[in-house]
Structure 1
Amino acid sequence: MTAWVRGQVQGVGFRWFTRAAALRIGGLAGFAANLGDGRVQVVAEGGQDRCDALLEWLRTGDTPGRVDGVTEIWDTPRGGYDGFETR
């Protein structure tokens, strides 16, 4: 699952909180990265239920900053991630 989070999500610790949420959910690998246009990209691979839980947290969780919207796409996992990191 790849999600793009819009709003005030850079410079507020959003990537670090996303990583903490992914680790708390467990069973996820991927990353959270700032994009040049002010969004944060989140890539998560794992079970459908775990990816859904992270997506729900991105949309309604106790995130830092302000989330105005989340757009996601689902694709076949590619692998190659070692845990969940911030970029």
Structure 2
Amino acid sequence: MQGVGFRWWTRSKALELCLVGSARNLPDGRVVVVAEGERHSCGLLLDALRSGSTPGSVDHVVEQWSAARGGLQGFEER
């Protein structure tokens, strides 16, 4: 997903939803998104990632829910 603005778009959506975390590229082209905040807001971010309106092409979204770890500030593109 590199070079199409996906991480920037994800960051923008996350900040609109008052989420903290990051979006980072993996060497194989996948993107890992970590988001913390209200469960409803995290769900809305997932919906946006699955919506088909993202930059680039999203083939598959895998979600994994866990307790917030804390210590995050803002939303970073890595």
Q: Identity of paired residues, percent? A: 59
Instruction: Give 1:3-82 correspondences, 5 Å limit.
Output: 9-26=1-18, 28-82=19-73
> Structure 2, unaligned stretches of length 5 or more?
none
For residue 37 of structure 1, report the CA deviation from its aligned partner. Answer: 1.4
Paired AA for residue 3 in structure 2: G
Counterpart-to-counterpart distance in 2, 1:25 and 1:74? 17
Counterpart-to-counterpart distance in 2, 1:43 and 1:53? 14
Using the size of structure 2 for normalisation, the TM-score is 0.94
Cα RMSD, aligned residues only? 0.9
Using the size of structure 1 for normalisation, the TM-score is 0.85
Runs of 4+ in 1 over 6 A off after TM superposition: none
Structure with bigger RCO (C-alpha 8 Å, 6+ apart): 1
- Structure with a larger share of its residues in strand: 1
Query: Residue 5 of structure 1 aligns with which residue?
Result: none
